[in-house]
Structure 1
Amino acid sequence: MKIIAIMNHFGVLAKEAPIEELHKKLLAENYRIIYPEDVDDLMELVDNNAKVCGVVFDWDTWSVLLPKNISGLNEQLPMYAFSSQRTQLEIDVDDLGLNLHFFEYAFDAVDEIAARIQRGTDAYFDAILPPFTKALFRYVDEGKYTFCTPGHMGGTAFQQSPVGSLFYDFFGANTMKSDISVSVSELGSLLDHSGPHREAENYIADAFNADRSYMVTNGTSTANKIVGMYAAPAGSTILVDRNCHKSLTHLMIMSDVTPIYFRPTRNAWGILGGIPRSEFARETIEARVKQTPGASWPVHAVITNSTYDGLLYNTDYIKQTLDVKSIHFDSAWVPYTNFSPIYKGLCGMSGTRVPGKVIYETQSTHKLLAAFSQASMIHIKGEFEEETFNEAFMMHTSTSPHYGIVASIETSAAMMKGNTGKRLMENSILRAVRFRKEIKKIKASSESWFFDVWQPEGESLAPCCWNLTPGAEWHGFKNIDEGHMFLDPIKVTLLTPGMDKQGKMEEQGIPASIVAKYLDQHGIIVEKTGPYNLLFLFSIGINKTKALSLLRALNDFKRDYDRNAFVKEMLPSVYEQQPTFYAGMRIQELANGIHKLIRQHKLPELMFRAFETLPTMVMNPHAAFQKELHGEIEEVYVDEMIGRVSANMILPYPPGVPLVMPGEMLTEENRPTLEFIQMLCEIGAWYPGFETDIHGAYRQPDGRYTVKVIKNVQ
């Protein structure tokens, strides 16, 4: 649907009659016409309706101020100004850059004017479409017959089958027609970076302030491995964030490298506070190299930025301080940082090159921009060997990439370019800040309890990234560095009752897992659930309706909790796990039961102690997995882990941080780590439906968990 906005108030009949004629002509050309009442109405229309492809207005009434305002939202949107012969055109040099076209009022010119508007619309669509996507659309429109893969042949095969027809109708014709073979030469190649594919990479690099960008069609898990395979040769030592994504553990399993781990801090809620600056100091790294068998000076470093909970580093400091050849910022959760000034200096591609270093940044385009799942990007600043890097790229990239994913990566970059992208980010940030204020407002007016927000204290918060100031009570971190970590406003963490800011357990509490399950049953999925905290992502796809729906659901939970509804009523999916156990149980009994278990295990103290010391590294992850491949492993109960070398990574979610890495051994010093795992297992054993997902631990029929350990190595 093409929409043209025509401003009202043309004033006199001599002007309104030609506009009425133009209206009829545009309707015949399949345009939809909307008449905003005033400037505010027009600006809201342009800001909230992406299908507007042109604005028509009277120059004598609105003059140059209106197109300047429109251009502030979308500088590429065509504008058509009608003027009379007596009109004075007050346009200066700066105004000539506006996408502005002039017409005179005349009855006999309607066909020419409509044709020029159509040409303006076509030029607008051509200007906003990025190169690969444009080429893909053109190819589909040409309707060529192919005798190559994929076998469904533009969807024809699906339509030969009843179930295939249902599949075809669900996904649509263009989805099928754009799923094409790498044999289509006019689209170039993702693997050798030619044609429209290379144009798309250049387009993306320009948008994301990178020297070079790569499109990855199987996620940032793969992007991380590509960077690591190139930057960390076998036999080298690397610095790795202990809060790394498991894809980086998989990289270390695949490549024979020696890891030295950066140790992040955490607070009582289990929120990661990032890596202290002392970890980046040369003397700290020297000491770790001496302590680690087989280690040499690291050639590469990997840092998770932002953390899962939305904390961003002062990356400028890290780039200048960390003494390694290359630094990889795993920024899967923040692909939008280049499009708002609040993130300046807090992301990998900020600023210019760093002499003598290569900076990598991997981003999940699909996570918080508008792209299909598995869409990811690699951005690079600095000198690197492109041919060798591409060998690593091809090792992990399918020879049959899905072109729909490729186009979605490029389109997400196009969406963020210029004033339109800035506005998208500004709206996202402001919406998150408004939501935070609403939560605080409800909490302040509540006579009993309500959810709180993890953020700096104060009546009014500026829409920026908030500094975690040393000594500030709100964040709960001890000995944090000034100007080192900043909270991203669009990552909203809500706190449930049960634990105060100092980590002291309260008499009663509402574990966040209960709230998450309630929201799930009301159509709202939580991104991450901690013991007493819930993470919500206010991406550019979150609109007012979705934000209000979340607010209402939280209010509904409070209402149902306060009236002490039955578990069967509030959490039917949990009730169905064990109807006999939950029969007659009310929600407050469930909440306080789980809360009591957490109190008995002294969660805050256990959380600190469990992550305070790292297990002993007996062999690197690569060597441990080789042992597993050769069958030199056995399974033992979790309770028997002390003194045994783990074959796999053990990662409970929440909090989603590795407790034990392959090749590591828990000692008596690490007993709190074991107790933390045992606590998570016990909650699930006592309360069906609240089991913790523990990667690397396997639940047996008797309810106990086992892990894989290396045989004959202690």
Structure 2
Amino acid sequence: MKPYRTLLAHECITPSDASYRIVHELTQTLKNRNIDVLTASHDPINLFDSDAGLSAVLVSWTLPQAELLIHQIRNKNLSVPIFLLIEKEEAQDLSTEILKLVSELVWIFEDSSHFIAGRIEASMVNYRKTILGPMASALIDFNSTHEYSWHTPGHAGGTAFQKSPAGREFWDYFGENLFRSDLSISVGELGSLLDHSGPIGESEKYSARVFGADRTYTVTNGSSTANRIIWTACVARGQRALVDRNCHKSNEQGLTLTGAIPQYLMPTRNRYGIIGPIPLKNLEKESLMRNGKPSHCVITNSTYDGLIYQVEKVLDLLAGTVDRIHFDEAWYGYARFHPLYKNRYAMRGTPAQSNTDSPTLFATHSTHKLLAALSQASFIHVRDGLNAIDHNRFNESFMMHASTSPFYPIIASNDITTSMMDGPGGEALMEESIREAILFRQMVTRIWREYDSTQDWFFQTWNPTHIQETFFEKVPVEELVKNAHYWELKPGETWHGFDYDAGYCMLDPIKVSVLSPGIRLDGSLDIHGFPACLLTAYLDSQGIQVEKTNDFSILFLFSLGVTHAKWSTLLHHLMEFKRLFDENAPLSVAIPALSKHYPSLGLQDLARPMMQHLIQTDFMKVQHEAFSILPSMNRIPAEAYQALLRNEIERVSLKEAQGRIAATGLVPYPPGIPMIMPGEEIGTLQDPWLGYLAALESWDQNFPGFSHDIHGIEFENGCYKLSVLR
């Protein structure tokens, strides 16, 4: 266990002050107990904020800002011990409110330093035990007993790795604690993920309370599996399901696994190819019930580009249409923890406030994506309502997909994520992310406006350029942090390019799309611009990895791990790219990895033919049509998959695919949304789907180093190949 650390916040004192000897003696006594003491007399809150490892805070009541400091700490952390150092005559000045906020009063001239230090240390030990959550705490306690392992896994706490050179390198890289934490279901002290017992079960109950669910299930192989668990728990073969066409391929796989008959809910796109929510008119009962009552509905919230629903409106429209609604919130697990997102996520309110006549709700969260869990960690949250599925039935599906040998650090990381988001600390973390995203947006907008005033170009962030009559960058940050109204897509505003009812759709500020020049407000292309992939290639050469690149936008995620320094570096490279582009810098200088493909070209020399290609192929229009028009469904996805299993398929070129039926989904990345589902008719090269694929193929042939990633397509000998049914 690392040494404990405490913060001592006191006024500047000198050896002549009466309290000097007492404070000095207490500090030394704490250090003798292996407790590090950080001292601050000026701005102690910054020191507290910068060190999450503090296990106690000692505050001198004579510190001028003592009362403010105590309030600031409690606004972020309800449980860290606060000891108020006070003299007897000062006690009458203490308000009831302060007495409620502090953990103990320390009478510095009455108790001995050894007694005070003992009280502080005991509180620190107890605090450390309470902050971890039940599973993480039990895992750490178990490892501290150093038991011999006679069960799986075979590396036996890492011992096996130390028997070979390669294994030793592996051991040295990760460290002993990781291997000691890689345990087996045989360790009864930790409970079972499959039975939801012991500390693992308590951890799931804890997460259900914090995330607002009736029940929560920890899933150790991602939200893709979490989605499939829900599908196989809810939908029987031949039942109808409403499926957001803007869905992850794991929901496509849910259709395949269950044999469900899909009825697709079509979202819309804007001129940038940014995907929006399903319009309200597409959720009306009359159209959704035309083939009978569906058994299930899945909706992606938020969209991949950060557009989020007013969930109350969705539920009002779907009431009476479907009894179970599944919100795929893989990228949106943080919404409950900041008031900016109120009523825009599935588990809003509390289970006690839910109406039992409302649909049963499911939400999947990838806690590793924008919260702080390890990769593959995810949750399924359940809020019971109509036609609810009890735990025993649901768990049959859970066990079908779960491993009997889960990785315990992943489970523990879900526990830690829950602890981090519990109470005011979660809101403080989210507020910091939102604030940093807004500051970045405002800085980019300010620079863009400065260049724009001289008819020059710069990048923009995708958000309003004005809030009412005020420049976006001049709106107080506090206003933008607190008011969801400023982030709503209002009817008639040109910046977003969608047509939604007022209040229905909101832009999530922490999902920042940076726009490259090249596309006008009317959707036409400007030959003087450049596609966003060029910027992405440059950023990659500078060690900056982006989340997603569209044709003229790049998505940056302002997660809990983003700092001011991190986005300042990004901003510097945006400005540096502008300088290089304006100078038509050789690719050998700007993006050296591309110079082998384009040895004699500069940035502008490459951008110009790229833009010409997009204009000549009418790329943006074809793309819009490909994702806005549904292909005809010849057979359901499950039937197409059965044909694939029987090898009743063949690999063909795009030209040969005309008039054929897709054997697998065709899913362009990003963002991983099916354009054609298994069993759908592909059409001809004059139809939007093959036409769009032909445009992508032509691009990949002409611009090596910028090829597209499309699930279901292989680039063979310079041509696209796909699988169709015989």
TM-score by length of 2: 0.93
Partner of 1:234: 237
- Counterparts of 1:184-583 in structure 2 under 5 Å? 184-287=187-290, 289=291, 296-322=292-318, 323-351=321-349, 352-356=353-357, 357-382=359-384, 383-446=388-451, 447=454, 448-458=456-466, 459-460=471-472, 462-463=480-481, 464-465=483-484, 466-477=487-498, 479-575=499-595, 579=596, 581-583=597-599
**Share of identical aligned residues, percent?**
39
Secondary structure at the counterpart of residue 617 of structure 1: coil
Unaligned runs of 5+ in 2: none
Q: For the residues of structure 1 that align with 2:10 and 2:275, how far apart are their CA atoms?
A: 55
Distance 1:99 1:390, change over 3 A: farther
Q: Which residue of 1 aligns with 2:619?
A: 603
Q: Deviations over 1:527-563 (max 9, x none)?
A: 1101110000001110111111111111111111111
Residue type matched to 1:527 in 2?
E
Distance 2:425 2:169 in 1: 37
Letter in 2 for 1:493: S
Q: Residue 90 of structure 2 aligns to a residue in which SS?
A: coil
Q: Unaligned regions of 5+ residues in structure 1, if any?
A: 290-295
Whether the 8 Å contact between 1:493 and 1:534 is mirrored in structure 2 is yes
Change (3 A) 1:139 1:498: same
Asked if 2 retains the 8 angstrom alpha-carbon contact of 1:365 and 1:371, the reply is yes
Residue 618 of structure 1 and its aligned partner are, at CA, apart by 0.5
The aligned amino acid for 1:268 is: R
The amino acid of 2:316's aligned partner reads Q
For residues 512 and 492 of structure 2, what CA distance do their matches in structure 1 show? 22
2:117 aligned residue: 114
Q: Distance in 1 between matches of 2:636 and 2:157?
A: 47
Query: What pairs up with 1:66-215 in 2 under 5 angstroms?
Result: 66-106=69-109, 109-215=112-218
Cα deviations by residue, 1:359-392 (Å, 9 ceiling, x for unpaired): 0000100000001000000001014211010000
Q: Establish whether residue 662 from structure 1 lines up as the match of residue 678 from structure 2.
A: yes
SS in structure 1 at match of 2:148? coil
Secondary structure class of the residue paired with 1:665: coil
- CA deviations on 1:209-236 (whole Å, 9 max, x unpaired) are 1111000000000000001111111110
Q: 1:64 touches 1:90 (CA, 8 Å); kept in 2?
A: no
1:292 maps to what in 2?
none
Q: CA 1:263 to 1:487, structure 2 compared with 1: closer, same or farther past 3 Å? A: same
Contact (CA 8 Å) 1:613, 1:670: kept in 2 or not? no
One-letter identity of the residue aligned with 1:339: F
Distance (Å, rounded) in 1 between the aligned partners of 2:502 and 2:372 = 34
Compute the RMSD of aligned alpha carbons: 1.6
- CA distance 1:609–1:632, shift in 2 (3 Å): same
Superposition pairs of residues 3-82 of structure 1, within 5 angstroms: 3-9=5-11, 13-38=17-42, 41-62=43-64, 64-82=67-85
Say yes or no: does 1:694 pair with 2:710: yes
Aligned to 2:661: 645
Offset of 1:71 from its aligned partner?
1.1
How many residues of Structure 1 are paired with residues of Structure 2 in the alignment?
Answer: 696
Inter-partner Cα distance in structure 2 for 1:425 and 1:395: 35
How far is 1:609 from its partner? Answer: 2.0
User: Is this contact kept in 1: 2:83–2:103, CA < 8 A?
Assistant: yes
In 2: Cα distance, 1:431 partner to 1:590 partner: 34
What amino acid does structure 2 have at the position aligned with 1:693? D
| Paired residues of 1:319 and 1:354 also in contact (CA < 8 A) | no
Give distance in 1, aligned partners of 2:126 and 2:99.
Answer: 17
Task: Kindly indicate whether the alpha-carbon contact (under 8 Å) linking 1:610 and 1:670 is maintained by their aligned counterparts in 2.
Answer: no
Q: Structure 2: which amino acid aligns with 1:19?
A: V
User: Amino acid of the residue matched to residue 374 of structure 1?
Assistant: Q
Cα distance between partner residues in 1 of 2:36 and 2:532: 48
Q: Which residue of 2 aligns with 1:293?
A: none
Q: Are the counterparts in 2 of residues 158 and 164 from structure 1 also a CA contact under 8 Å? A: yes
Deviations 1:481-521 (A, max 9, x none): 22211100000001001001221111221110010111111
Is the deviation greater in 28-37 or in 87-96? 87-96
Q: For the residues of structure 1 that align with 2:532 and 2:68, how far apart are their CA atoms?
A: 51
In structure 2, what is the Cα distance between the partners aligned to 1:432 and 1:66? 26
SS of the residue 2:652 aligns to? strand
- The residue type paired with residue 680 of structure 2 is E
- Asked if structure 1 preserves the Cα contact closer than 8 Å seen for 2:26 and 2:113, the reply is yes
Residues 1:679 and 2:695 are matched in the alignment: yes
Q: Does structure 2 conserve the Cα–Cα contact (< 8 Å) formed by 1:76 and 1:99? A: no
Superposed displacement of residue 93, structure 1: 4.6
| Distance in structure 2 (CA, Å) of the matches to 1:84 and 1:338 | 42
Task: Determine the C-alpha separation between the residues in 2 that align with 1:414 and 1:639.
Answer: 55
Paired amino acid for 1:153: A
Is 2:683–2:689's contact at 8 Å kept on the other side of the alignment? no
Q: What is the alpha-carbon distance in structure 2 between the residues aligned to residue 694 and residue 354 of structure 1?
A: 43
Q: Which residue in 2 is equivalent to 1:625?
A: 641
* 8 A contact 2:685–2:694 mirrored in 1: no
Q: In the aligned structure 2, how far is the partner of 1:426 from the partner of 1:327?
A: 29
Cα pair 1:231 1:300 within 8 Å, conserved: yes
Distance 1:2 1:670 in 2: 69
Residues 646-690 of structure 1: per-residue CA shift (max 9 Å, x gap): 000001123432111000002359712211111111111101111
Letter in 1 for 2:34: N
CA pair 689-172 structure 1, distance change in 2 beyond 3 A: same
C-alpha displacement at 1:569, in angstroms? 2.0
Amino acid of the residue matched to residue 187 of structure 1?
Answer: L
